[in-house]
Amino acid sequence: MSTDAVVVGSGPNGLSAAIELARNGRSVTVVEANETIGGGCRSAELTLPGFVHDLCSAFHPMGAASPFFRSLELGSLGLEWIEPPLALAHPLDDGTAIVLSRSLDETARGLGSDGRAWRRLVAQLVQHWPDLATDALGPLIKIPQHPLVLARLGLPGLLSARLLARRAFVTERARALFAGLAAHSMMPLDAPLSASFGLMFAVTTHVASWPIARGGSQRIADALVAKLGSLGGAVMTRTRVRDIRDLDTARAYLFDTTPRQLDRIAGARLSNGYRGRIARFRSGPGVFKLDYALDGPVPWRARDCLRAGTVHLGGTLDEIAESEEDVARGRVPEHPFVLVGQQSLFDRSRAPAGKETLWAYCHVPNGSAVDMTGRIEAQLERFAPGFRDRVLARSAMGPAAIAEHNENYLGGDIGGGESSALQLFGRPVLSFDPYATSARDIFLCSSSTPPGGGVHGMCGYHAARSALRQALR
């Protein structure tokens, strides 16, 4: 059978690429190695019957703020975003929590004397989000359409997160909040550009909060597949692609994989020069993840935590920086920075009545085999004494198990590649069109291309535009 395009991988970017091709009138088939579609956007009963857990992504500031997702009107295809009252709570040892809300006013009020500084940093960027998204959520090597807006992000964003937090804020509370946001980058907080992640997370919070999908993140993938189906595209599951020659003949092949897999599957079709360049693309740190079935809500000391979808555990800026520095140096942190999700508090379809789910992970060195359960639970007990008494069942996944669920997550790297300064601009290579490869009909559409990790579909969208320009005219 022959088709215009084959997409390898049904993650949010693979599906987005397929949708963009299909809505431009091209025939497209997606082939997926796993039994289930969605890649990093899936849900399953990992612990006990009736408890629905997000295998990977859970909170979707970028998904809800994504110009591409917004253009698809996924709400009419079954996707319902639920917005917890607070996007984020960040508890401290004094029994209080710093809170981040969609409302800039509420957030600024909570930050006290640093409220004005918070506004100064993000208010203009929030106001100009559509312009910022145009320039920041795609290839970074280009002439920006809105240079002044981009400079408001780019200039402070060039700094390390620690430096920006110390310069911008006078209180340890605001600094800790910013550190937790920047730590999503998995970069050391002393690395240049790590501040840009903190800023982007802060801005998207005020644009779209950190919503969850009713019923589980799987519903995002399901809605994308429904959209693709409505446009005539199809997905074939249980089809692991080992060699590009095994695929149906097509005018374009788009890979929702890392560059390393692309090379393994299609290396014979790529030039030696290009293969050499993608061979230098590095994986980032891994993650260790725990999912819990709980006998009730987490007994947080800071009550505000019960109003938040996400909770950041790690204490002060310096503590979080130390944890991320350990990971960058290949050491397992003794007191890891832990990202916690409380989906069932706001979506009763996730757990039986009176019970709760909990989602938690921390960063570890790539490929680490160390069991982090004890260290993660120590952080939970620090801010919620008695937590362990609520545990009915737990599922633990270290880097090897994470990679088993999704072969893109090499060594447990969930970001599609390290977020170093070089790899932010050269993702996976320095180019005006980083989606194109040396072969005219082969494209990369995964989070190993700009704008990188997260469920937003923008990598897939841009890759499809590149394919439409070059191979599918």
Contacts of 235 by beta carbon, 8 Å cutoff, 6+ apart: 10, 15, 29, 30, 31, 32, 37, 225, 228
What's the closest the beta carbon of residue 172 comes to ligand FAD, in angstroms? 26
Does residue 58 touch ligand FAD according to CB under 6 A? yes
The half-sphere exposure of 115 on its side-chain side, counting CA atoms within 13 A, is 13
Q: Which is nearer to ligand FAD, 241 or 384 (CB)?
A: 241
| Amino acid present at 159 | L
Judged by CB under 6 A, the residue of 3, 24, 34, 96 near ligand FAD is 34
Does residue 406 touch ligand FAD according to CB under 6 A? yes
- Minimal CB distance residue for ligand FAD: 11
Cα gap 8→145, rounded to integer Å:
32
**With contacts defined by CB under 6 A, how many residues of the chain interact with ligand FAD?**
43
The interface region with ligand FAD, picked from 53-61, 70-78, 129-137, 156-164 by CB under 6 A, is 53-61
Does residue 287 touch ligand FAD according to CB under 6 A? yes
> Is there a contact between 376 and 335 (Cβ–Cβ < 8 Å)?
no
| Amino acid present at 336 | P
Contact positions with ligand FAD (CB under 6 A) in 337-376: 361
What's the closest the beta carbon of residue 382 comes to ligand FAD, in angstroms? 22
Does residue 428 touch ligand FAD according to CB under 6 A? no
Contact positions with ligand FAD (CB under 6 A) in 241-270: 241, 256-257, 261, 265
Does residue 12 touch ligand FAD according to CB under 6 A? yes
Judged by CB under 6 A, the residue of 53, 60, 350, 427 near ligand FAD is 60
Q: Which ranges of 297-448 does DSSP label H, i.e. alpha helix?
A: 317-328, 373-383, 399-405, 421-425
What's the closest the beta carbon of residue 244 comes to ligand FAD, in angstroms? 10
Does residue 59 touch ligand FAD according to CB under 6 A? yes
Contacts of 324 by beta carbon, 8 Å cutoff, 6+ apart: 183, 186, 187, 188, 189, 333, 337, 363
Does residue 200 touch ligand FAD according to CB under 6 A? no
Judged by CB under 6 A, the residue of 5, 7, 8, 122 near ligand FAD is 8
Does residue 437 touch ligand FAD according to CB under 6 A? no
Residue 159 in tokens: 């700094």
Judged by CB under 6 A, the residue of 5, 11, 281, 466 near ligand FAD is 11
Q: Which is nearer to ligand FAD, 59 or 274 (CB)?
A: 59
What are the start-end ranges of the E strands in 336-472? 338-341, 356-364, 391-397, 442-444
| Amino acid present at 285 | P
Residue among 212, 378, 358 nearest 294 (CA): 358
Judged by CB under 6 A, the residue of 6, 31, 254, 308 near ligand FAD is 31
The interface region with ligand FAD, picked from 145-153, 230-238, 270-278, 407-415 by CB under 6 A, is 407-415
Q: One symbol per residue from 288 to 307: x for binding ligand FAD (CB under 6 A), - otherwise; what is it?
A: -x------------------
Q: Would you list the DSSP string of 299-312?
A: --SSGGGGGEEEEE
Phi, psi of 326 (to 5 degrees): -55, -50
Does residue 455 touch ligand FAD according to CB under 6 A? yes
Q: Which is nearer to ligand FAD, 189 or 287 (CB)?
A: 287
Q: One symbol per residue from 213 to 242: x for binding ligand FAD (CB under 6 A), - otherwise; what is it?
A: ---------------------------xx-
Cα gap 435→446, rounded to integer Å:
9
Q: Which is nearer to ligand FAD, 267 or 299 (CB)?
A: 267
Judged by CB under 6 A, the residue of 447, 462, 466, 467 near ligand FAD is 447
- Residue 271 burial (C-beta neighbours within 10 Å; 0-12, 13-18, 19+): exposed
> Is there a contact between 85 and 210 (Cβ–Cβ < 8 Å)?
no
What's the closest the beta carbon of residue 307 comes to ligand FAD, in angstroms? 18
Q: Which ranges of 209-316 does DSSP label H, i.e. alpha helix?
A: 218-230, 259-266, 272-279
The half-sphere exposure of 350 on its side-chain side, counting CA atoms within 13 A, is 31
H helices, E strands: number in the chain = 18, 16
> Is there a contact between 88 and 100 (Cβ–Cβ < 8 Å)?
yes
- Residue 465 burial (C-beta neighbours within 10 Å; 0-12, 13-18, 19+): middle
Does residue 56 touch ligand FAD according to CB under 6 A? yes
The interface region with ligand FAD, picked from 94-102, 118-126, 175-183, 403-411 by CB under 6 A, is 403-411
Sites of contact with ligand FAD (CB under 6 A): 8-14, 31-34, 39-41, 56-60, 62-63, 240-241, 256-257, 261, 265, 287, 289, 361, 402, 406-409, 414, 416, 446-447, 453-455, 459
